[in-house]
Structure formats: C-alpha cells, structure tokens
C-alpha cells in the first residue's frame, strides 16, 4: 500500500494528527487525549520500533501459544475423539484453532521430526566390492508388468513411460557408493514429498465420508473438517512411533482405528454396527488409494 502524502510529509511527529497507515485525521477523545487506534483502519497511533519481546509474542501467538486456543484444541483432540469437530460444526470456533491451521501445525512438526529421525537412521554402507552387474536388482518389490532395475547389469523397465525409464536408468548407472548416495537422496526426497501427498489425499478421505454418510445431510466441507482433525491426531500418533519403545508402536496400532471409530460416533452418531461397516469401507478404499499413492510417490522420488 502507498503511504498517503499527508502521512509521508508529516513523518512520525504527526502520529497525533493523522494515521500513518491510511492518512485519516485523528480527532482527540473526550478527555482531550489522542486516540490509541485509528477509527478507520484500526492501526495503533503511537508508532515505535517493535521490541524483541513483541516479535516473540507474535510468533508464539501464531504457532506455539502457551495458553488459549491451541491448548484447548489439543486437549479435545487428544482426550475427546470427535469433540473438536463437533464443537466446530455447532458454531463454537473462536475458542479453538481452526481445523486447517491445526492440521498444518501438527503435520509440519510430525514430518519434520520424521525427517530428522530418518536422516539419522538412513546411513547406508554398501560393500565396496558390490557388483551391480551380477544378479537381479529391482527398485521395488512389485512384480511385472510394472517394475524396473538391473538384471546382470542390463537395465530393464516395464510398464512405465519411456521418459521415466530414461531418467531412472541414468540414476542406476553408478558405482556402489554412488548408488548409496542416490538411495539416501531418494529417501530424503520421499519424506519431503510425503507431507504434500498426504495433504492431497485429504479431500479424497472427506469424499469417502460424504458418500458413506450421505444420509447425514452434511456439507462436503464439514466432512473435510472431520478429516483434518482425524489426520492431525494420527500425526500425533506418528510421533509416538518415533520413540524407541516397541510397545508404543503396538499401542498406536490399536489406538488409531479405535480413535477413528469413537470420533465418528460422536460426529455422525448411529449404531456401532453401522459405524463399523462404514469405517471398514472407508478404510479399505482409502488404504488402497494410499498404497497406490505411495508406490507412485516412490517412483516419483526415484527420478526427481
């Protein structure tokens, strides 16, 4: 926005007479003092350089507030399956973090920690005498008609576009050390793209709920709110699996479907039998879509 001429000429000394943002004249209040905020645009009239404390407060208020909406939202998300979605749908939105912002905050944190953990563990040391010209080496465990790799040093690529095969052949044409570097780089690219791929899958997850709960007469975006909250909880569960305790992974395996079913019960209502059947349909279709998407993501990360 261009600074108004009146404000530009006046400079900081004119903050009591005109707003530096919009140029509106600032009339004295009943007490004779200058107003603290512009009556038109709302900007403060006492302009001064921001302090470091104010910067920290702005950052914390937007992302990691120590009190207020974020902690209220996390409390409901963790301990009351579906309640955060229900509160949003009935109109109580000011007290909680908006669904998309909550999802992005948790998912970014989860995938960031996942990349850190994977970066520590993914340290390949292939033997220096490894001979890629002997034996069968495939880039995936998928059998024909879709597969690629090396067979006694001869590159093969089936069921994939020609341009893809060309790029892949270039990546595989390397020595063992180079191959190790390529695999590590591929893992990093895979994790980088995983968050975006999961975000793209969210609308499909919401569409499945729109179809199986068509008789609830909810708008598609209301199902999307449920999807955002549910995936946010799943990402929190993902963080638990990064801890070095096997029993936590087993706990998450039970908690993820149980939480989803309890959340659906609170949001959509209905009998447990029908909830279970609908959840089974959604899980089967969504699981298949995730599997296909993961395979495509792997191939994409191999060459880009």
Each residue's pLDDT tens digit, 211-250? 999 999 899 999 999 999 999 999 999 888 888 888 888 9
Over 60: is that where the pLDDT of 57 sits? no
Closest-CA residue to 222 (of 89, 87, 84, 76):
89
At residue 9, the pLDDT reads 43
The pTM score is 0.69
Q: In this structure, what token pair is assigned to residue 85?
A: 């979605």
304, burial (CB in 10 Å: exposed 0-12, middle 13-18, buried 19+): exposed
Average pLDDT, rounded, for the chain: 80
Give residue 118's pLDDT.
Answer: 67
CA proximity to 102, closest of 90, 116, 85: 85
At 8 the pLDDT is 42
| Confidence at residue 41, expressed as pLDDT on a 0 to 100 scale | 87
User: Does 265 have pLDDT greater than 80?
Assistant: yes
Instruction: Kindly tell me if the per-residue pLDDT of 177 is higher than 80.
Output: no
Q: What is the pLDDT of residues 104-115, one digit of tens each?
A: 989 989 988 887
The larger pLDDT score, comparing residue 92 to residue 149, is at: 92
Half-sphere exposure of 136 (CA within 13 A, CB side): 7
Strand 136-138 and strand 154-158: pairing? unpaired
In tens, the pLDDT along 125-174 reads 555 556 566 666 676 555 556 777 777 767 778 877 888 788 777 776 66
Among 38-47, 79-88, 286-295, the least confident range: 38-47
Predicted confidence at residue 117, as pLDDT, reads 75
Residue 72 CB contacts under 8 Å (≥ 6 apart), including other chains: 95, 96
């Amino acid at each position: 926005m261009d600074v108004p001429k009146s404000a530009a000429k006046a400079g900081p000394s004119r903050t009591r007479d005109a707003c530096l943002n919009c140029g509106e004249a600032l009339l004295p209040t009943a007490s004779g003092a200058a107003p603290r905020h512009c009556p038109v645009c709302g900007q403060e009239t006492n302009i001064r350089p921001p302090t470091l404390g104010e910067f920290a407060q702005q950052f914390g208020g937007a992302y990691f507030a120590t009190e207020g909406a974020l902690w209220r939202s996390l409390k409901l998300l963790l301990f009351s399956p579906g309640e955060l979605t229900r509160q949003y749908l009935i109109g109580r939105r000011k007290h909680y973090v908006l669904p998309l912002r909550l999802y992005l905050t948790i998912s970014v944190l989860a995938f960031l920690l996942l990349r850190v953990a994977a970066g520590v563990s993914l340290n390949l040391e292939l033997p220096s005498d490894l001979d890629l010209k002997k034996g069968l080496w495939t880039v995936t465990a998928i059998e024909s008609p879709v597969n690629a790799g090396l067979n006694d040093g001869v590159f093969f690529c089936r069921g994939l576009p020609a341009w893809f095969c060309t790029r892949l052949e270039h990546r595989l044409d390397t020595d063992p050390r180079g191959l190790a570097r390529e695999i590590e780089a591929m893992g990093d690219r895979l994790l980088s793209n995983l968050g975006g791929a999961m975000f793209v899958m969210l609308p499909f997850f919401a569409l499945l709920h729109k179809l199986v709960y068509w008789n609830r007469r909810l708008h598609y975006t209301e199902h999307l709110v449920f999807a955002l909250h549910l995936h946010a909880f799943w990402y929190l569960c993902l963080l638990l699996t990064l801890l070095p305790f096997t029993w936590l992974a087993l706990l998450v395996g039970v908690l993820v479907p149980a939480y989803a079913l309890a959340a659906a019960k609170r949001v959509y209502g209905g009998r447990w039998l029908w909830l279970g059947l609908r959840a089974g349909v959604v899980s089967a279709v969504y699981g298949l879509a995730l599997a296909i998407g993961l395979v495509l993501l792997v191939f994409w990360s191999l060459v880009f």
